[in-house]
């Protein structure tokens, strides 16, 4: 077993993604990887008290030890709740079907 692991830390923005590849001591945690990546200095909006963190799409805690080749992902809070957006879209669709909109009556 190696004394080091290779990991990547990723932070996605609407227009681009920042990915930092690191070589860390075996047993390093997600928090240590994020600190070593320098992404918090580059993106001061990253707030690990509010933002969730995962590895390959699966949520983890900051003190989770990492494995070789893990990709730590920092997730920004959602702007809109997808469930709420779908609910509104469904309501609008029902209203259109019931009322028919501004179309003239069929001849």
- Please list the alpha-helical segments (H only) found in 12-101: 30-37, 39-42, 82-99
Q: What is the mean pLDDT of residues 54-77?
A: 96
85-88, long-range: CB < 8 A, 24+ apart: none
Q: What is the pTM of this model?
A: 0.72
Instruction: Summarize pLDDT for 20-38 with one digit per residue, the tens.
Output: 999 999 999 999 999 999 9
Q: What is the mean pLDDT of residues 51-69?
A: 96
Q: What is the pLDDT of residue 46?
A: 94
What's 4-87's CATH class?
alpha beta
Instruction: Summarize pLDDT for 71-92 with one digit per residue, the tens.
Output: 999 998 877 677 777 888 888 7
* Band of pLDDT at residue 61, cut at 50, 70 and 90: very high
């Amino acid at each position: 077993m190696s004394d080091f692991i290779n990991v990547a830390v990723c932070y996605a923005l609407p227009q681009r993604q920042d990915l930092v590849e690191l070589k860390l001591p075996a047993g390093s945690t997600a928090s240590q990887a994020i600190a070593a990546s320098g992404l918090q200095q580059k993106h001061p909006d990253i707030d690990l008290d509010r933002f969730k963190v995962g590895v390959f799409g699966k949520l983890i805690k900051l003190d989770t030890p990492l494995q070789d080749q893990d990709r730590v992902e920092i997730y920004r809070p959602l702007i809109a709740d997808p469930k709420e957006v779908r609910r509104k879209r469904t309501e609008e669709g029902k209203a259109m079907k019931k009322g028919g909109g501004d179309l003239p009556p069929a001849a």
